[in-house]
């Protein structure tokens, strides 16, 4: 469709696209502006997508238009009850007696991710306390801190208000026009530069376009290509707003993408009949066993592709102490948990070797009481597996993507040759949290801080032009 449309469009003035590392990128951008026939440019900036990233971008702009497919705006986080954000070096941490710093976070990062943080990740770590200040200035508050199994100090800042309040606070700073119920069909790119977007078969011209359409997690075909078996997963859904349009656009327009298989998975049983809800199990509260009843997998490292590989290879059963389950009645009543009073009953019902199962539980008990490593290499303290035990079928929930469209440090989209597409930007999850690699391969819980930060950062740069 794009090719046909492009054939009908007037050719733009010729201009050599700047290289990714061109020192004069800024002035090339300005030259592009000057070269445009401004009579047919309708908008300075079009932001596609009104999730937290798009809203944050729009909040910085004096002129422009935000187009959102759904109504109301808010993206995926509007479903969350109390969103958590990963922040470093905040007053809340000090008040709780923790010393934290970008250096400490970077060290922790390197241990978990296996490589040193990129320059942009460093910048994010250094600026995350400013993200905290701005959110509080918008009337939000933090009710508690928590720690992920792999971090040495608590960095997850839980917002006291709802996901909806969170996006409403970010949106409260927006002055530009927002059009909801508006699905953007395509980008229009000519000669290495964006010219606008297609809506209802019509071209809306813009000098710059920001892709803020969210991550690539809900595309069953893509998951299949990446080696997942979609039918084995309950891919996270929460309404029709889940889509993978950024990936389609990348393929259609030769945009570079990376780390697509770095997908955050939440193991546990997800239930979405009446809205998003999930039984989380990667916090040490549940163990997984294979078809013999043996532990085979480090559940704590289950937030990335490693988990997908594991579940494809085996039949997996999740086991949790019924009493420790966050919402036991809800999940039991809904039939997602099956309760057993003895280990033998559980083994018999699941056709496990009872001795293997007993050993698995002993492994967890030892680890719980004595620390060190368990048989899967897990080093955090798991919950003690107490009777009665409940089993669940681990369904995976694809919660977020840490890869996506490649952008440079200014958020400019790169094509497959590494050249920035003039005027085209990507923020938030569409760009793997602001830049593929920023979330790493295992990602981090609370990546919303990076999502919002990338929007504010790119929006401020655009406004400054
Ligand atoms: C229940 C739940 C709880 C979560 N909790 C947390 C948490 O506590 N902490 C955390 O860090 N993360 C959490 N996440 C993940 C977080 O929501 C996402 O990482 C974040 O929303 C990504 O923001 P985004 O703006 O990049 O994309 P999205 O939120 O996906 O927003 C993209 C927007 O673009 C719109 N759009 C897409 N395509 C088009 C198009 N073609 N035309 C027009 N509009 C389009 C969509 O309708 C959507 O509104 C949670 C997710 C869910 C579902």
Task: State in Å: Cα 376 to ligand 1 middle.
Answer: 33
- Is pLDDT at 67 greater than 90 in this prediction? yes
As a whole number of Å, the end-to-end CA separation of the chain is 32
Q: 396 is written with which tokens?
A: 């995976």
What number does the ligand 1 atom closest to the CA of 79 have? 1
Q: Is 83 in the pocket of ligand 1 (CB under 6 A)?
A: yes
Rounded Cα gap, residues 424 and 210, in angstroms: 6
Rounded Cα gap, residues 281 and 287, in angstroms: 8
**C-alpha torsion sign, points 272, 274, 280, 285:** negative
Instruction: Name the residue among 399, 376, 392, 234 with its Cα closest to residue 300.
Output: 376
Instruction: Tell me the helices (H) and strands (E) count for the chain, helix number first.
Output: 14, 19
pTM: 0.80
Q: Is 428 in the pocket of ligand 1 (CB under 6 A)?
A: yes
pLDDT 10s digits, 113-157: 778 888 999 999 999 999 999 999 999 999 999 877 667 789 999
Q: Is 186 in the pocket of ligand 1 (CB under 6 A)?
A: no
User: Per mean pLDDT, which range of 342-346, 365-369, 396-400, 457-461 is the poorest?
Assistant: 396-400
Rounded to an integer, the average pLDDT of 338-365 is: 95
Q: Virtual CA dihedral for 50, 56, 61, 64, nearest 10 degrees?
A: -10
Task: State in Å: Cα 208 to ligand 1 middle.
Answer: 22
User: Structural domains in the chain?
Assistant: 1-83+162-262+402-465 (3.50.50.60), 266-398 (3.90.700.10)
pLDDT 10s digits, 299-329: 766 555 555 556 656 678 888 888 765 554 5
- What confidence score (pLDDT) does residue 373 get? 84
Q: pLDDT confidence of 420, banded at 50, 70, 90?
A: very high
**With pLDDT > 70 as the criterion, what percentage of the chain qualifies?**
74
Rounded Cα gap, residues 237 and 398, in angstroms: 9
The answer to whether the beta carbons of residues 324 and 386 sit under 8 Å apart is: yes
Task: State in Å: Cα 238 to ligand 1 middle.
Answer: 10
Rounded to an integer, the average pLDDT of 342-355 is: 97
What number does the ligand 1 atom closest to the CA of 158 have? 8
What number does the ligand 1 atom closest to the CA of 83 have? 8
DSSP 3-state helix, strand, coil percentages of the chain (rounded to 5)? Answer: 35, 20, 45
pLDDT 10s digits, 325-340: 555 455 565 667 888 9
Quick check: bond before 353 cis, omega within 30? no
Q: 52 is written with which tokens?
A: 């937290």
Pairing mode, strands 420-426 and 202-211: parallel
Best substitution site from 82, 188, 214, 453 to test ligand 1's pocket, by max atoms within 8 Å of Cβ? 214
Task: State in Å: Cα 79 to ligand 1 middle.
Answer: 9
- DSSP class per residue in 47-99: EE--SHHHHHHHHT-SS-EEE-SSSS---GGGG-SS-EEE-SS-HHHHHTT--
**Nearest protein CA to atom 38 of ligand 1, as residue:** 213
Q: Is 246 in the pocket of ligand 1 (CB under 6 A)?
A: no
Task: State in Å: Cα 50 to ligand 1 middle.
Answer: 9
Beta-bridge partners for 431: 404
**With pLDDT > 90 as the criterion, what percentage of the chain qualifies?**
49
Task: State in Å: Cα 245 to ligand 1 middle.
Answer: 13
Q: pLDDT confidence of 57, banded at 50, 70, 90?
A: very high
Rounded Cα gap, residues 414 and 256, in angstroms: 6
What average pLDDT does the chain have? 81
Instruction: Name the residue among 169, 188, 160, 170 with its Cα closest to residue 84.
Output: 160
């Amino acid at each position: 469709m794009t090719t046909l449309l492009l054939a009908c469009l007037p050719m733009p003035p010729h201009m050599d696209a700047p290289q990714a590392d061109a020192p004069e990128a800024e002035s090339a951008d300005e030259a592009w502006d000057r070269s445009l026939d401004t009579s047919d440019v309708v908008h300075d900036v079009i932001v596609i997508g009104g999730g937290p990233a798009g809203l944050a971008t729009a909040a910085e702009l004096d002129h422009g238009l935000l187009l959102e497919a759904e109504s109301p705006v808010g993206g995926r986080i509007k479903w969350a009850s109390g969103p958590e954000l990963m922040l470093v070096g905040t007053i809340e941490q000090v008040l709780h007696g923790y010393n934290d710093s970008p250096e400490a976070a970077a060290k922790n990062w390197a241990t978990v991710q296996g490589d040193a943080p990129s320059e942009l990740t460093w910048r994010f770590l250094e600026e995350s306390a400013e993200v905290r200040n701005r959110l509080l200035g918008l009337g939000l508050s933090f009710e508690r801190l928590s720690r992920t199994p792999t971090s040495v100090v608590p960095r997850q800042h839980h917002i006291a208000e709802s996901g909806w309040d969170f996006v409403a606070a970010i949106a409260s700073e927006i002055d530009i026009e927002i059009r909801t119920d508006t699905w953007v069909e395509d980008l229009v790119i000519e000669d290495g530069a964006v010219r606008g977007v297609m809506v209802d078969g019509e071209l809306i011209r813009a000098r710059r376009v920001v892709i803020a359409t969210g991550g690539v997690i809900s595309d069953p075909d893509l998951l299949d290509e990446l080696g997942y078996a979609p039918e084995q997963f309950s891919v996270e859904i929460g309404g029709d707003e889940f889509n993978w349009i950024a990936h389609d656009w990348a393929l259609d327009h030769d945009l570079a993408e990376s780390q697509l298989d770095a997908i955050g998975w939440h193991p546990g049983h997800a239930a979405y009949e009446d809205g998003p809800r999930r039984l989380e199990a990667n916090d040490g509260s549940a163990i997984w066993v294979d078809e013999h009843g043996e532990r085979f997998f480090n559940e704590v490292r289950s937030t990335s592709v490693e988990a997908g590989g594991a579940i494809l290879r085996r039949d997996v059963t999740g086991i949790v102490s019924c009493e420790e389950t966050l919402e036991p009645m809800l999940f039991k009543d809904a039939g997602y948990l099956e309760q057993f009073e003895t280990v033998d009953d559980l083994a018999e019902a699941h056709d496990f070797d009872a001795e293997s199962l007993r050993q698995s539980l002993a492994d967890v008990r030892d680890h719980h009481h004595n620390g060190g490593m368990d048989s899967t290499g897990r080093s955090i303290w798991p919950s003690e597996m107490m009777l009665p035990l409940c089993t669940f079928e681990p369904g995976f929930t694809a919660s977020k993507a840490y890869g996506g469209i490649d952008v440079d440090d200014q958020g400019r989209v790169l094509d497959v040759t590494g050249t920035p597409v003039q005027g085209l930007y990507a923020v938030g999850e569409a760009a793997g949290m602001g830049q593929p690699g920023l979330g790493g391969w295992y990602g981090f819980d609370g990546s919303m801080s990076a999502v919002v930060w990338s929007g504010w950062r790119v929006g401020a740069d655009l406004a400054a032009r």
